[in-house]
Structure 1
Amino acid sequence: MSIQGKDITKVVIACDAGMGSSVMVASQMAKRLKPYKVAVQHSPVNEIPADAQVVLCQQGLVPRAQKNSSGAVVIGFQNFMGDPVFDRVEAAIRDGGELG
């Protein structure tokens, strides 16, 4: 499954009951994606909203996120700070590239 960056209007940062790191990621991504009019929402991995188009979560949560998100592109990351996935998502939205 894939999606064109220009078609993305909602990104969900999914977590497992962590210590707030994913909330920080959601806040940072919201700031980064605001110029492109993309909404960013934080959600537990078991409650991903049905309208999520792209779900970002820790690599270990990818299978659960895929199971709990119908039709969304799920992308895992390793590090909460500075992971290249965040740059890749922003670049796809900004430049119209493909995520998948």
Structure 2
Amino acid sequence: MDLYEEYFNSFDDHDFRRLVNLLETKGYVIDTKDGFSSVQIKHMTEDMFDQLCKKFEIKADITYSKTGGYYPTEGGYSMLFNSNIVDYAEAKKILDHKVMEE
């Protein structure tokens, strides 16, 4: 099994639907903060997202982007965000705030 397949198979129907719902409603998902592993979020690609939508028969109108950051005391975090709801500058502010609040 290659890594793409491993990351792809790390999502079950429930978890992927929750990820899509968060992207559609909240506008973003931060690894570990929203219950997804850093591997799942960091390695999500547009192709993988589309293939997961197809696999679970989900119609999602999401234009997503990724960002991340390294925080010396907390470590690295990755974030997917729906750029129809949150722009890049706002995503960076949200990530900084969410990582530093705990």
Give TM-score, length-normalised by structure 2.
0.30
Give the structure, 1 or 2, with the largest relative contact order (CA under 8 Å, sep 6 or more): 1
* Structure with a larger share of its residues in strand: 1
TM-score (ref. length: structure 1): 0.30
